[in-house]
Chains A and B, each alone.
Chain A
Amino acid sequence: MRIDSLQSLAELRESAQQYVHLRRDDVKEHPADAKIKHQLMVCGGTGCVASRSDEIIEAIHKALEEHQVDDVEVIKTGCFGFCGQGPIIKVQPDDLFYVRVQPEDVSELIESHVKRGEALERLLYVDPRNQKVVHNHHEMDFYEKQERAALRKCGLIDPMNIKESIAFDGFHALGKVLTDMTPQDVIDIIKTSGLRGRGGGGFPTGLKWEFTRKSVGDKKYVICNADEGDPGAFMDRSILEGDSFSVVEAMAICGYAVGSDHGIVYIRAEYPPAIQRLTAAMDQAREYGFLGENIFNSGFNFDIEIRLGAGAFVCGEETALISSVEGGRGEPTRKPPFPAESGYNGKPTVVNNVETLANIPDIILNGGEWFASMGTEKSKGTKVFALAGKVNNIGLVEVPMGTTLREIIFDIGGGIPGGKKFKAVQTGGPSGGVITDRDLDTPIDYESLKSIGSMMGSGGMIVMDEDNDMVEIAKFYLEFTTDESCGKCTPCRIGTKRVKELLEQLINLEGDEETLEKLDTLCNNIRSTALCALGQTAPNPVLSTMKYFPEEYMRYARREVKKTYSIDPEKCIGCTRCARVCPVSCIAGEVKKPHVIDEELCISCGACFDACKFDAVLRP
C-alpha cells in the first residue's frame, strides 16, 4: 500500500487509530461495544526478554484461551524504561503497571484483572519511600519528573507494525517536509530548536545539516551512528528496539534537507533485536512508499542500508566509523576535513546519533520553538540517560536539560540500595569523569558537566556507592581504553598502557608518591597529544578521580591499603555466617569463637561483609 499524499496518510492514520485508542491519553471515552476491552503491553526490550518476557507473552495467550477471554490483545512493545523492575506488563486503558511479572503469575493476573476487574495488588509497584502500592503509572516516582520526547513512542507502539507508528503521527513530519517545505525551511526549524548532537559532541544539528547542504558533491550521504560504544549505556539500542520508525523517518528528512538519497545505519552487531526491528521498519517504510523513489510524489528519492559494526569502541567516532563503513579497520583520521565536507567515499556526509535523529520528527511537527522551550539557555530539549550501577531504579530516563543530577539519582532513581552512601556518578563513559556529592545540584547541560570535570557523553550514567574503590574504577576505564585504542597514534597506544601500569603499581602496593606525579604528567600529555577524542579523553577518569578522591590515591601510594577483608576479633561472636557464604572457603574458626580470614586466599568479593550482622568484618 503506497501512501503518496498527506491526504491518504491522514486517512490511514484515522483508520489505524482504532487499533490504538485504548492507549491514547487524549481519548477518555471508549465505545462500550468495542471488540477489544484491554491491551496488555509487554516489554520486549533486551533486558525484559532476558528475564523471560517472551515466555510471559506465550503464557498470556495460553491463559486467555483457558479463561475463554477474547476481548484482550497482547502487544510486544519496546522498552518502558523501568528496566530494574522488569519484566513489565502495562494494562491499557487502565494505565496500570505490573512489575517483576513471572510467567507463573500470568493466569492469576488474567483471572483477576481481566475477568473480575480487580487489579492484582501483589504485582503492582510499591513505592520504596512510603511502601504504598502505586496503581497509576503516571504516579510512579520514576516517571514523575520525566519528559518523553525522543522516547515518546517507545513502549507505546508495537515496533514491528508501521500502522501503530502512523496512528501516533509517524511519517507525518516527512509528508509535511516533502509537500510544503524547502530544504532550507527544514534546516531553519532545526536551527531554531537548538537541537545539539546527542552522541556526545553536542554540535548543533541544524548547522551540521547546513554545512553539508552547502558542501559541493555529486553525491551526499546520511549516516546514523548506532554504534553505542559506552559499556553500560543503552539509550540508542532502546530507541531502535522501541521505535525504529522515527529514526528511519528522520534520516529521510535529513536526506531531503542536505540533498542526499542514500542513508546508512552503522549498528553494533551485538544488538540483534535492534537490527531486526530496524530492518522491519525499513521494509515496511518501503512498502508504504516512505523510502524508495518519488516519496510523497515529490520527486525525492531516499533509501537506507544497514552496516554492521564488529565490536570496536573507536568506531563510534565519526571518522573511524566512516573508515569501517568503507570496509577497513576503524581508524580515525584527523579533522578537518569534517565529514560534512569529505566523509564516506570522500563525499559530504552527515553523521548523526540515533537519539539526535529520534527528536527530529516531533520538532518538525511541533515547531522549533516547542523544543527550545525545554532545557537550559545553551542546551535545549531533553536528554535520555541510561541510569545504572548502584541505584534503586535502574533504567532509561528522559529529562529536560537542566534537571539536576540529584533529581535523577534520588527522585527518579530512588537513591542508593541497601542504605549505602552515595559516592560518585560517572557520566560520559570512558571519556568522562566522576561527579561527587558537592556537584549534584548542578543543572545538567553540555557546558555545566564540562565545567565540573566530566562531560555529557552519549548518556551513560553509572552510580557508585561507598563500596566502590575509585582507583579500581580508574583502572577499569583505562583497561577499557587500552583494549579499545586503535593503535594509530603513540600517545594513545603506548600512553594509556603506561597509565594502566602505573595504576596497577599503586593497586599492587608497589607505587609511591612519585607514581602519582608520573600519572598526573602522563595523563596531561596524552590529553594534549592524542590524535582523536578517544585518546584525548582517555585520561579523564584518572584525572577526575585523582582530583576528587586524592586521599584514596594517597592511601595506595603510602601503601596503607589493606588488600583483603579482615575480621575484628572484638566484635566477632563466631556465628559462622561469614564462613558459610565465603565462595573460596578462606574463613576459618570454631563456633562461638572469633573467625579469621586467610589473606592469601581472599578474593575480596565482600560476601562476608554483607553476611555479617555484627559489623565484625572490616573492608579492605
Chain B
Amino acid sequence: MSNSVLSTEHLDKTKLAELDKYIAGLENKQEAIIHILHRGQEIFGYLPKELQLYIARKADLPAAKVNGIVSFYSFFSQEPSGQYQISICLGTACFVKGADAIIKEFRSQLDMADKRVSDDGRFSIRDVRCVGACGLAPVVVINEKIYGHVGTDDVAGIIEQYRGAEG
C-alpha cells in the first residue's frame, strides 16, 4: 500500500490511546502482530488502511507486511460492516442442509444481490465457515445472536426483527 496518500491523522484519538496501551504492554511487538491486529479490529470495528499504517509504525514493521497479513487472514476486515452483520454459515454441515438457499434468500429479501453492505448501512451480509453450532444447521448469526435450523421461509421474519429495531 502506498503511504504517500495515507494519513493517520483522522483516526479517533481515544481509540488509538486504548490501542497504544495494549501495544505498550507487549514484549515482542513483531511476533505479536496478529494479536495487535485483533485488538485493533476489536476497538475500531475493522482495520482501515490508515490504522494498518499506524500499527505498522508502532510495531516497527513495513506497512506492506502488515497489509499482507491483514489480507491473508479472513478474520480481518478492511471495510466497515453494517449495523447488523448477518453471517451465514457456509460450513459443510450447513451447506449440505441448504445454506446456499438461505444466503440467496437474505440477499433477495434485502435487495443486496451483490452488495456487501446495504445502501443505508444497516445490514451487511457475509458467509462464514462453521460457527461451531453444526447441530443447529443451517445457522445464521446476526451480530452475536445465533439462529438455528433456519429455513428459507424463516428469513423474512428474522429480517423483520431488525428492520423495525432502532439503533
Interface residues of A (CB under 8 A from B): 46-47, 50-51, 83-84, 86, 230-234, 237, 269-271, 307-313, 324-330, 386, 388-390, 394-395, 426, 429, 460, 462-464, 468, 473, 476-477, 480, 483, 486, 581, 583-584, 603-607
Contacts and interface: CB of A to CB of B under 8 A. Distances in A.
Contacts of A270: 75, 128, 130-132
B93 A310 contact: no
Given A308-B34, A330-B72, A604-B101, A395 B152 contact: no
Interface of B: 28, 30-35, 37-38, 65, 68-69, 72-76, 90-98, 101, 104-105, 108, 128-137, 139, 146, 148, 151-153, 155
Nearest to A604: B101
Leading 4 A-B pairs by shortest Cβ distance: A83-B135, A310-B73, A231-B91, A232-B92
A231 B129 contact: yes
Contact of B135 (A86, A464, A476): A86
Contact of A583 (B92, B130, B134, B155): B155
B147 to A, nearest CB: 9
Given A231-B93, A232-B94, A327-B34, 10 more contacts: A50-B133, A232-B92, A232-B93, A232-B130, A234-B132, A270-B130, A311-B73, A581-B153, A603-B105, A606-B98
A51 B93 contact: no
A237 B132 contact: yes
Contact of A310 (B37, B135, B137, B151): B37
Contacts of B38: 269, 308, 310
Contacts of A309: 34, 73, 75
Nearest to B101: A605
Given A486-B72, A603-B101, A603-B104, A47 B134 contact: yes
Contact of A326 (B31, B101, B105, B151): B31
Which residue of A50, A270, A460 has the most chain B CB atoms within 10 A of its CB atom? A50
A606 B96 CA distance: 13
Contacts of A311: 73-76, 129
Given A270-B75, A464-B96, A603-B104, A51 B134 contact: no
Nearest to B73: A310
Contact of B134 (A83, A271, A429): A83
Given A329-B69, A390-B96, A476-B95, A607 B153 contact: yes
B72 A312 contact: yes
Contacts of B98: 605-606
Given A329-B69, A583-B155, A476 B35 contact: no
A84 B135 contact: yes
Contact of A386 (B73, B96, B134): B134
A193 B72 CA distance: 39
Contacts of A327: 28, 30-34
A463 B97 CA distance: 10
A388 B94 CA distance: 9
B11 to A, nearest CB: 21
A270 B151 CA distance: 24
B73 A312 contact: yes
Nearest to A394: B135
A329 B153 contact: no
A308 B35 contact: yes
A329 B68 contact: yes
Contact of B93 (A308, A325, A389): A389
Contacts of B105: 583, 603, 605
10 contacts: A231-B130, A269-B38, A312-B72, A329-B72, A388-B92, A388-B137, A483-B74, A605-B101, A606-B98, A606-B101
Which residue of B33, B133, B155 has the most chain A CB atoms within 10 A of its CB atom? B133
Which residue of B31, B34, B132, B146 has the most chain A CB atoms within 10 A of its CB atom? B132
B117 to A, nearest CB: 20
A388 B134 contact: yes
Contacts of B155: 583
Which residue of B30, B75, B93 has the most chain A CB atoms within 10 A of its CB atom? B93
A172 B120 CA distance: 59
B135 A47 contact: yes
A51 B134 CA distance: 12
Given A46-B133, A395-B135, A583-B152, A269 B75 contact: yes
A233 B154 CA distance: 26
A310 B34 contact: yes
Contacts of B68: 329
A329 B72 CA distance: 6
A603 B102 CA distance: 10
B153 A583 contact: yes
Contacts of A231: 90-93, 129-130
A312 B74 contact: yes
Contacts of B108: 584, 603
Nearest to B70: A310
Contact of A390 (B91, B97, B136): B97
Contacts of A460: 92
Contacts of B137: 388-389, 394
Contact of B146 (A50, A603, A605): A50
A464 B98 CA distance: 11
Contacts of A386: 134
Contacts of A468: 96
B93 A388 contact: yes
A388 to B, nearest CB: 4
Contacts of B28: 327
A271 B75 CA distance: 12
Contacts of B96: 389-390, 462-464, 468, 473
